[in-house]
Amino acid sequence: MVDGSDGKRRYTEDDIGIFVTMVRDDGTYVEAEIVRVFCPVCGEEFIGTKRDAGGFIAGHRAYHEHENMSDLIAESMGGV
Ligand SMILES: [Zn+2]
């Protein structure tokens, strides 16, 4: 675990599987497990709480859907 210069915690590989309680602006996270997830599309990885991992996954899904959509539109207009 690393404390950033802004006072926020950063999680590293060493922290996977640990449970942390943290107070944030949006609420207190009690015994939040630190997990590692990766995006099956581009392979990027994320280490953090499940809540943040969910945001990572949802964000990648939205991004890659957008990418695919842009490709499809480009194809329908006569190719890239
Ligand atoms: Zn991705």
Query: Could you tell me the distance, in angstroms and rounded to a whole number, from the CA of residue 47 to the centre of ligand 1?
Result: 14
* Each residue's pLDDT tens digit, 23-57: 989 999 999 999 999 999 999 999 999 999 999 99
- Classify residue 48 as exposed, middle or buried by CB count within 10 Å of its CB (0-12, 13-18, 19+): buried
Cα(54) to centroid(ligand 1), Å: 13
The arithmetic mean of pLDDT across residues 43-72, rounded, is 95
The dihedral built from the CA positions of residue 14, 16, 17 and 21, taken in this order, carries a sign that is positive
Q: If you measure from the C-alpha of residue 65 to the centroid of ligand 1, how many angstroms do you get, rounded to a whole number?
A: 10
pLDDT tens-digit readout, 3-25: 767 767 789 999 999 999 999 89
Q: Where are the alpha helices (DSSP H) in 1-80?
A: 50-76
* pLDDT for 9: 75
What are the residue ranges spanned by the domains of the chain?
Answer: 2-76
What spacing in Å lies between the alpha carbon of 74 and ligand 1's midpoint?
21
Please give the distance, rounded to the nearest whole angstrom, from the Cα atom of residue 30 to the centre of ligand 1. 28
In this structure, are residues 21 and 28 in contact, taking their beta carbons and an 8 Å threshold?
A: yes
